[in-house]
Amino acid sequence: KEIVVKSRWVSRIAYVDDLATLEVTFAPDVVPLITRLEKHFTSYQLKQVAQLTSKYAIRLYEFLIAWRNVGKTPVISLSEF
């Protein structure tokens, strides 16, 4: 059976005026999805790409960094890239 679930992303938002900070509490259904993001996406420090000026250079960097643990990259066509 197909189950359709509708849920809000956040259950609480608080603004701390003295500190000028925002506190966000995610809904329980969303927490497991957020905590697993690192397993499904490539992560890197922004300072590593801060000097790159082209969106293509950043995309190439993301592609290469995603394959760094394998030690080689697959061959892809230019149109696919």
Q: Tell me, what DSSP letter sits at residue 38?
A: H
Domain boundaries, the chain: 1-39, 42-81
Assess whether pLDDT exceeds 80 at residue 4: yes
- Report the C-alpha gap between 58 and 52 in whole angstroms: 6
Each residue of 17-55: pLDDT tens digit? 999 999 999 998 888 888 777 666 666 777 888 888 888
- The burial class, CB within 10 Å (0-12 / 13-18 / 19+), for 56 is exposed
pLDDT for position 16: 92
| pLDDT, averaged across the chain | 82
